[in-house]
Amino acid sequence: MNQFIAESATLGAGTKVGINAVILDNVRIGENCLIGHNVVIHEGSCIGDNVRIDDNTIIGKKPLSSPRSIFKVDSDLKPTTIGNLCQIGANVVIYVQATVGNNNLIADLATIRENVTIGDLNIIGRNVTIENFTTIGNRNKMETNCYITAYSTIEDYCFVAPCVATSNDNFMARDAARFDHFKGITMKTGSRIGVNATILPGKTIHQDACIAGGSVVSRDVPAEEIWLGTPAKSFRAVPQAQLLKNNLDKK
């Protein structure tokens, strides 16, 4: 079979590797993993047990950096870490110095940038992008084509609908003052964002708040309120039946 597995790489019992896969130096892969065709796993990456990685996916990619970029690439980025029981789809790119916890589903075409930390039991949908320096907690759901900007924080049990756009630069790349205000969004536990909504830089959506589809959020949103419109304004309280305390997923 045509594949390259470095001598220093370690593969656990029962792990299977597809055609044209490339596994580089000091990679550690746990037991009973399934590595698809044309997968590339870069140096030092650590993958837990019972992980499935589908065709054409890249783990541990090093970032590019333009001379104009505000992000400067560190010279000592740590290897990617992926926990147990994760399912990673086809054509996914997970960058170096990303940490992915246990039992996560990362669907086809998703991109996870460097300096991202993801907890456990999350669903990250098709073509989702999670940018640099973002922290994601546990049991969140990010649906197809949503965009999580750099320097964001998403706590637990949050929901992000398809095509949601988030932003972190109120100055739109002009004015040196922007570097003092550069900040992504914050989603507190249980908060939800509806389809095709836009969240402006630095805004916080507090616990159990809900953003209606198509809204533009230009102010912080209080806990347990539904906001809608352009710009979004308070509409009414979140119904008791929809509050997180009445909908906890304990599986």
Q: Where are the domains of the chain?
A: 1-64+75-130, 132-251
Residues 6+ apart with CB under 8 A from 133: 115, 116, 150, 151, 184
Q: Mean of the pLDDT values across residues 137-142?
A: 98
For residue 206, what pLDDT band results from cuts at 50, 70 and 90? very high
**Quick one: what percent of the chain has pLDDT higher than 90?**
86
Distance CA 37, CA 22 (A): 9
Tell me which CATH code domain 132-251 carries: 2.160.10.10
* Higher pLDDT, residue 65 or 247: 247
Query: Per-residue pLDDT for 66 more than 90?
Result: no
Tell me which CATH code domain 1-64+75-130 carries: 2.160.10.10
Q: Mean of the pLDDT values across residues 232-244?
A: 96
Q: Mean of the pLDDT values across residues 37-43?
A: 98
Q: Is the Cβ–Cβ distance between 202 and 187 less than 8 Å? A: no
Q: Which of 52, 71, 79, 247 is nearest to 158 (CA)?
A: 247
Beta sheet of 98-100, edge-to-edge order: 10-11, 28-29, 46-47, 81-82, 98-100, 116-118, 135-136, 153-154, 186-187, 204-205
**Quick one: what percent of the chain has pLDDT higher than 70?**
92
For residue 136, what pLDDT band results from cuts at 50, 70 and 90? very high
Looking at residue 194, its pLDDT comes to: 98
Looking at residue 11, its pLDDT comes to: 98
Domains 1-64+75-130 and 132-251 share a fold: yes
Looking at residue 179, its pLDDT comes to: 62
Distance CA 53, CA 247 (A): 31
Q: Mean of the pLDDT values across residues 129-133?
A: 96
Looking at residue 1, its pLDDT comes to: 65
For residue 177, what pLDDT band results from cuts at 50, 70 and 90? low
For residue 123, what pLDDT band results from cuts at 50, 70 and 90? very high
Phi, psi of 246 (to 5 degrees): -100, 5
Query: Per-residue pLDDT for 178 more than 70?
Result: no
Residue range 219-232, pLDDT digits in tens:
999 999 999 999 99
Q: Which of 193, 85, 84 is nearest to 141 (CA)?
A: 193
Q: pTM for the complete prediction?
A: 0.94
